[in-house]
């Protein structure tokens, strides 16, 4: 064959092999990340995880989530927050948001939020994971954010996050389950139509002398100066709104006791 044609053909073959090789490595890395996300990292936390129904569960090192693909965000994020974690605060630079490769169906791209008028609102707060660089960076995965109005994010939602940190310091350890209410959204943003929740919830649970006690909050997605106590609801009512069974592994009697009541007396505001 004429050299004039041989070299271009060889170059095309080499380029094709390089592209295919890169694609193969990319797919392998994706597979490994997904498989890693399927491994439970904390047996203690797994006891308190809600049911995921048909959603993908992803176990990161410092929190676990259930990803709702149609809504392009988590239906719930669960994690444990301790007094010791809050004592070890490191000063870290804020990283860029990154697509969560452990979500098998593909997590939303952060660009959906660009020029949308909504903040990239953390579900597992970055401040709750400021005790190590890895823990902090994990909160900047797109599976851990939801569209939030800035005045909501920096206002009533921030007040609730601060209150939860105060409880973790006071009571040594709390378990948190949180996300937006994905039914009846206010809107959808970006090319992937990320749902804008009409409300956000947060459940805080801890052990006490009688077993467990918890508080559930349901906050409309709008600016508010109301006292946080005004947003307290029963877990049962939150389950009705979200369709999520929150503490299925608790003994039935214990689950019924804490889910039917608003146990305000057990918590210091």
Is 153 known as a binding-site position? yes
Write down the residue that tokens 């809504």 correspond to: 71
Q: CA separation (Å) from 4 to 1, 7, 9, 13, 164?
A: 8, 7, 9, 15, 72
- Dump strand ranges (E) for 104-184: 119-122, 145-148, 173-180
Q: Does residue 89 contact residue 53 with C-beta atoms inside 8 Å?
A: no
> CB neighbours (10 Å) of residue 230?
9
122 is catalytic: yes
Q: Does residue 191 contact residue 113 with C-beta atoms inside 8 Å?
A: no
Q: Does residue 196 contact residue 147 with C-beta atoms inside 8 Å?
A: yes
Active-site residue (options: 59, 60, 83, 122): 122
Where is the binding site for Mg(2+), in residues? 153
Active site residues: 122
């Amino acid at each position: 064959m004429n050299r004039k044609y041989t070299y271009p053909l060889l170059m095309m073959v080499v380029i094709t092999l390089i592209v295919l090789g890169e694609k193969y490595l990319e797919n392998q890395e994706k597979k490994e990340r997904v498989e890693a996300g399927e491994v439970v990292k904390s047996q203690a936390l797994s006891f308190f995880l809600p049911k995921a129904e048909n959603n993908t569960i992803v176990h990161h090192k410092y929190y676990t989530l259930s990803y709702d693909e149609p809504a392009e965000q988590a239906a719930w994020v669960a994690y444990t927050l301790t007094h010791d974690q809050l004592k070890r605060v490191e000063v870290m630079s804020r990283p860029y948001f990154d697509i969560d490769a452990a979500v098998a169906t593909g997590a939303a791209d952060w660009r959906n939020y660009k020029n949308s008028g909504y903040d990239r609102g953390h579900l597992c707060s970055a401040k709750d994971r400021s005790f190590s660089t890895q823990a902090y960076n994990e909160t900047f995965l797109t599976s851990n954010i939801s569209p939030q109005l800035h005045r909501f994010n920096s206002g009533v939602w921030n007040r609730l996050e601060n209150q939860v940190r105060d409880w973790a310091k006071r009571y040594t350890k709390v378990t948190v389950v949180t996300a937006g209410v994905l039914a009846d959204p206010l809107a959808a943003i970006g090319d992937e139509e990320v749902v804008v929740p009409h409300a956000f919830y947060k459940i805080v649970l801890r052990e006490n002398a009688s077993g467990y006690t918890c508080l559930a909050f349901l906050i409309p997605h709008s600016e508010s100066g109301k006292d946080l106590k005004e947003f307290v609801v029963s877990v049962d009512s939150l389950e009705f709104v979200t369709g999520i069974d929150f503490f299925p592994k608790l003994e039935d009697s214990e689950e019924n006791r804490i889910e039917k009541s608003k146990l305000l007396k057990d918590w210091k505001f």
